[in-house]
Amino acid sequence: MRINRTLCLLALALVATTAIAQSRRPHFLRAPSASLGSPRVIVQWTEVELLKHENVSYIASAKAGAHYQCVYRSNQRPSATHQEDVLVNVSVGGTFTADKYGKISDKLIIPAPQPTLVCPSNQVLTLVSVVFTDIRLTDVSNYVSSPTHPSALSYKAECAH
């Protein structure tokens, strides 16, 4: 009799745990936001319905096209310019811990793609412009993904020639 009661209580606990786990649906409170931080994209979000103190891994990603060129230290463009266009997928990841209410509010910063261009000794490398498209945030722990708002941003240097 006592064994049956223990088994019954264990089965009930298992059903209750399963029901709670199935009713939990992690999601972003609203679309993650994207803003420009110089030649970088700052992706901010709030995700809810996570487990208390759950560690969640995220990836912020985008397609990025950047234009670099070499200029004299006085910001003058030489007559024979060294320049490079870089078009790549960029991403950054991080792991964050949910608070006691099952919520994470944080940010990740996506950098501009890096060039391979090497400037002559009397010149410096300058980022002229960069465009980020298809900006997206993915919760890889819970398989939740969303485009950001806006999903595309562009940056042009003030002293671009």
Residue 19 has a pLDDT of 46
34 touches 150 (CB < 8 A)? yes
Cis ω for the linkage preceding 150 (within 30 of 0) = yes
User: How far is 73 from 89, CA to CA, in rounded Å?
Assistant: 30
Query: 149: number of CA atoms within 13 Å, CB side?
Result: 6
What digits encode the pLDDT tens for the residues 67-122? 999 998 877 777 767 999 999 999 999 999 999 999 999 999 999 999 999 999 88
Percentage, residues of the chain above pLDDT 90: 73
Task: Give me the residues paired with residue 123 across strands.
Answer: 72
Q: Model pTM?
A: 0.81
Please tell us whether the domain made up of 25-156 is placed in CATH 2.60.40. yes
Asked whether the predicted pLDDT for residue 2 surpasses 90, the reply is no
- The SS3 call for residue 7 is helix
* Tokens at 34, concatenated: 């994207």
Question: In sequence order, which residues have a C-beta less than 8 Å from that of residue 142 and are 6 or more positions away?
Answer: 26, 50, 56
Reduced to 3 states (helix: H, G, I; strand: E, B; else coil), residue 53 is coil
Domain ranges for the chain: 25-156
- Residue holding tokens 């997206």? 136
